[in-house]
Every structure is written in C-alpha cells, then in structure tokens.
Structure 1
C-alpha cells in the first residue's frame, strides 16, 4: 500500500460572517512557490461563497482574505457557490463550482486571466428534469436502478416555486486541451461521466446535451466497483498529467450501518483517450481516521478537491467532515507505481 502522510488541518472557520460555519472543499492551483486556494466558505443557514487564501509552499497559510472573493449574484446561485475546482488552460483560468439556488445544484463556470477578476459564464450542464433524463437515456438495465434512486427526488417536481432538476455536480476540466479540444468530468449520481471533443464552450447547447444524453452510457467514465466506493463515486481533483497517464483523485462513498463514508480514491486514464481507464486502486488512497475527519457538520468525510505537486511529493487538499480543510501527501512516483499494479484488463 502507498504511504500517505496527513498534515492535519490547514484551514478552519473564522468568526467572520461569511465563513463562521465552516470552510471546506478547496480549489487549488500552484504558481511558483505559492499555492492559491479558493475554498467553499459557509455562513449561517448554509449559504456558501468562495473565500481565498495563499499558501507559501504547500502548507503555510501566508495570506487570507477577510471577505469572499466570489459571492452569489444570480438566481441560479442564490443559495450558494459550492465546491470549486480550478485549472489553467493556455492563458486562462477555469474555475468550476456548484451553483445552488436552494432547490437545484448544478455545475457552473467562471474564468479569469489573473485569479482576481472572474467572469461568470453561468451553468454549463444540462438543465432538465429527471423524467426527461430518464426518457433520453433509456436506462432500463437492473444496474441502472441507482440512477432512479439517487435522482428522482422522491418524485417531487416543484419546490419553492422552482422546477426540481437533475442534479449534475463535480464539473472538473482537464488542465489542457486534448487533441485541441476541451474535456471535462461531471457527475450525475452514482457514476462519473466525461465530456470530450468540445471545440468551444459555446457548443454546450441544449441540443448538445440532448445528443449527449441519447448516448449516455458511452459517456460514463467509470462506475463504482470496489467496496469503499460501492454506493457512488464522484469527481475530486483536476486530472494530473503524468507519463503514465491522467491521474485522477476522486471520492468514493460507501454506506455503513449508520452513515455514508467518503474516502479519497485514485485511478489512471489514457493521456490521449481519457475515456480509457488504465488502472484503479482497489482500496482508498486515504479515508476518515482523525477526529476532525470523523466528526463535523457531516461525519466521516474526506472529500478531495485540489492538488499541488512539489518535486515528487503530491499534496492532496480535502474537505474534512464538511467543516475544515486538511492536507495529505504521498510520493507521486510511488503512487503511480502502486496504481499500475492494478491494471484494467
């Protein structure tokens, strides 16, 4: 098994109004000696915005803003901006997040050239009801019953004056174009899906998503298969390009007798055909063990959302028990060597 070192709590809630209920699930990007962290900041009544801090090296918080960097402005995000991820493609930063209006949680995008000024581009995933999703995808096999269980919202069609839509979260871009085109992950429970071959973000039209869902099974990146992820899997950190393939740190969930347990997991995908899985760890990369991971707003959670590489050390930043931010590290080369022991035949 790969040796993982946990470095403890990197960031906790403060007394400031915008983050006095918790900080969690950060987007992370390294620039030189600095690590920029864009984290979910939670205020009372579970309203979320995006806070910012800068780390010197991988672990030392050097600067922390006393107000949100990004706050809800539009109806589609009126109840919160949650769980950001960030990559840089060419000369532009792409920050994705979950926009929550109090009823629906959907993947949205903002871009920036300087990590200070962001332009919100709105929701980029399909905005449809479960019934339409079910009709388009025609999921009739027994293994697909989970889609109904996780997404039909107890058959409620409207809540608080809003239509109840299919939740589509964990939108995460690959950090470069593949064959000259955008590629990103997203998650409709219980599996992780992939979008490839996008010339321009303007191509993500209603017609595009209609055709995409008509061929839904072809766009499933992978399904839960091991005990630690058997309930469902979801996106974690942006893919890391290595000589062995795209390293993807994701979250896997399984249920105990009393609760769900969220763990960090790892898999490897082909560099030029990212739909092709090369290998997957059959055990969690790391899981809740410390008291601050086991007890919090949501118990038993290690939710990875960002990474930074220093020399051969991979630092994984994660939300712990939905209240604070932790960091774990490991040898990147050793991790790749370990994953490749479990190739997919």
Structure 2
C-alpha cells in the first residue's frame, strides 16, 4: 500500500462563511452544540443530519438543507430523530443519538449512529423510506443495536451499494477501521453483532497515531472507494481528516493512504468549543463537480470545506501504484 505526501492541490478549502450551523440558545435540544452531521444528497439538495446537544450533553438529530452546498436554506426547529430505545437513554446526563452517517440504497434511507446510554457507546441502525423523508413524516423504523453492547464500537457507515451481493459496513471496534459484510441487514436482531476484519490502523509517530475512524460512507470512483477518515494524534491530541482509497472490487484492501491530512484544526472555531482542536466529518457530497466535506468544528459548530472532485481523483490516480 503506497503512502503519498499530500500535494497542496489536495488540501480542502474552507468556506469563508463558516460555521454554517451554530447552536440556537432558544432550542433546548441544541443549545450547547451542533456538529458531526451525516449527509444525504437527494434531488440536487444536500440534507444535513446534524447532532444537536443540550446543556446536559444529551444528543438528538436535527435537519438542515442546502441547495448550493454552503448556505442553509432550511433548518427545522425540532429534532427529526430522538432516543427511543433503552440502549440510548440516560436520565443523568450525556447520552442519546450521536454522529449519524447516512446512506440511501434504492428507496430506503439508512442511518447508522452512535447509541449512548452514558456507559458504553454502541452502533445502532434505523431507516426511513425516501417517500416519508421527503414528506417530513418521521416514521423511522425501530432502532436495532448492531454492535456488542459490552464493547465500545463507533464510526459506522454503510457503503452506498452492495459489494459482491452483500452490504458492506465500516466501523471502529477498537482504534482501527474495520469492515464487515452482511447478506441481509435484518440479520442484526440482538443475537448477531458487527465484527469482520481490521483494514487500517493508526500509524506511530504520525498525525493519525492514536486512533482512526471512517468519516462517512465511502464514495465510489473509477479508482476505487474514496474514504475520508478522521484521526486522533497521540502527540497533540488533535482530530484531523485524511484520505485513503479502498480497492473497488475488494474494499478490505487499502490501495492508497495519504501521509498528510487534508484538513486540520487551525481557525478559531476549530480551536475552541466543547472539544478544542477538532475537525470531525460524518459525511460528504458531490455537487457540480465539487466535493463538499461537512465537519464538526470544536464539537460545537458545523463547517464545510471543498475540493474539485475530478481534480482530486486525477491527483490520487497519479499516486496509485499499479
């Protein structure tokens, strides 16, 4: 697997109007922080499923919409998804539904998220029909716990299409990125949990030295699966974003991993907040040949940064060793 230095052309460019989402003090459910937004592109609109946190650090999922990738044209006053199951409830503080990652396959919109009861973060899965989503009928299916309730598991995302007839799922079981394959998502019924194999791990002495996790569902390209991932450095304890490319036919294989980040916390809204020194993405979308990467800044607000998609792919292609 080749490691390549980041050319300046591969750095994400921030929107100068960041942050695009901030907490609303009059909304109790999102008065402390809004961050880590899942992303869905549908009918030329980009829907942001963001994590809203109240003063007790309890999280729900809100919705905002943008037509140009930058400017918010709609933001709902109430959350579209709240904790319903025992494994995501905590009457004493931090908990709820965190860090959603969104994938649409056919007419079903899947949401993988962190279910937190104040003890162990776990992965939960729910879904909604495209029709109900567009009609704003929040008839979500009952959440299913798909990770071992006794083991911390986070950062889970579903590939946008099946791989060799199976659903492909990324998750972080320890400090590494894992992948699992399932023929039917209904197999997760309280008896079966995510497992699979680790495909990428932290790199000692580098910016991604402590732990890594998927940023959002990977994007299918002609060079393979483009995966934006986040990392925590064991040195300065900052969260950054990087890129790796998974083999298009066998995503257990990493065929390229850049050795420098594409985005790191530098600006005031990234260096302050609930968790200073953090840029953390749960999703991205391509609109008019621009790749928009949405990220939580300081665990408090939402920012967006972009790069020309065709330029990115061409640059990465030149680094991949055949």
- The TM-score with structure 2 as length reference comes to 0.88
Q: For residue 54 of structure 1, what is the aligned residue in structure 2?
A: 65
Q: For residue 166 of structure 1, what is the aligned residue in structure 2?
A: 151
SS of structure 1 residue aligned to 2:273: coil
Q: 1:125 and 2:147 equivalent?
A: yes
Q: Which of 263, 271, 274 is the aligned partner of 1:294?
A: 271
Q: For residue 175 of structure 1, what is the aligned residue in structure 2?
A: 160
Residue by residue over 1:95-133, the C-alpha shift from the partner in whole angstroms, topping out at 9 and shown as x without a partner, is: 111000111110001101132431133211123xxxxxx
1:206 to partner: Cα distance: 6.7
Q: 1:75 and 2:60 equivalent?
A: no
Q: For residue 332 of structure 1, what is the aligned residue in structure 2?
A: 309
Using the alignment, how far apart are the partners of 2:127 and 2:291 within structure 1?
A: 26
Q: For residue 34 of structure 1, what is the aligned residue in structure 2?
A: 45
Using the alignment, how far apart are the partners of 1:207 and 1:341 within structure 2?
A: 45
1:188 to partner: Cα distance: 1.7
Q: 1:89 and 2:105 equivalent?
A: yes
1:278 to partner: Cα distance: 1.1
Q: For residue 188 of structure 2, what is the aligned residue in structure 1?
A: 204
- Larger helix proportion of the pair: 1
1:312 to partner: Cα distance: 1.9
SS of structure 2 residue aligned to 1:228: coil
Q: For residue 207 of structure 2, what is the aligned residue in structure 1?
A: 228
Using the alignment, how far apart are the partners of 1:121 and 1:112 within structure 2?
A: 11
Matched pairs, number? 299
Matching of residues 185-196 of structure 1 within 5 Å = 185-196=170-181
Say if 1:189 and 1:234, in contact at 8 Å, map to a contact too: no
Residue by residue over 1:33-65, the C-alpha shift from the partner in whole angstroms, topping out at 9 and shown as x without a partner, is: 211111000001100000111112211111111
Say if 1:50 and 1:69, in contact at 8 Å, map to a contact too: yes
Moved over 6 A (4+): none
Using the alignment, how far apart are the partners of 2:128 and 2:175 within structure 1?
A: 31
Say if 1:280 and 1:344, in contact at 8 Å, map to a contact too: no
- The TM-score with structure 1 as length reference comes to 0.83
Residue by residue over 1:167-195, the C-alpha shift from the partner in whole angstroms, topping out at 9 and shown as x without a partner, is: 00111000111122111001022101000
Say if 1:29 and 1:308, in contact at 8 Å, map to a contact too: yes
Matching of residues 134-283 of structure 1 within 5 Å = 165-196=150-181, 198-204=182-188, 208-209=192-193, 219-225=197-203, 227-256=206-235, 259-283=236-260
SS of structure 1 residue aligned to 2:162: coil
Residue by residue over 1:204-263, the C-alpha shift from the partner in whole angstroms, topping out at 9 and shown as x without a partner, is: 367654xx75xx6xx10111226110111012111001111100001011033xx51000
Q: Name the Cα RMSD after superposition.
A: 1.7
Using the alignment, how far apart are the partners of 1:126 and 1:4 within structure 2?
A: 35
Unaligned runs of 5+ in 2: 1-6, 90-94
Unaligned runs of 5+ in 1: 128-164
Say if 1:189 and 1:233, in contact at 8 Å, map to a contact too: no
Using the alignment, how far apart are the partners of 1:192 and 1:344 within structure 2?
A: 22
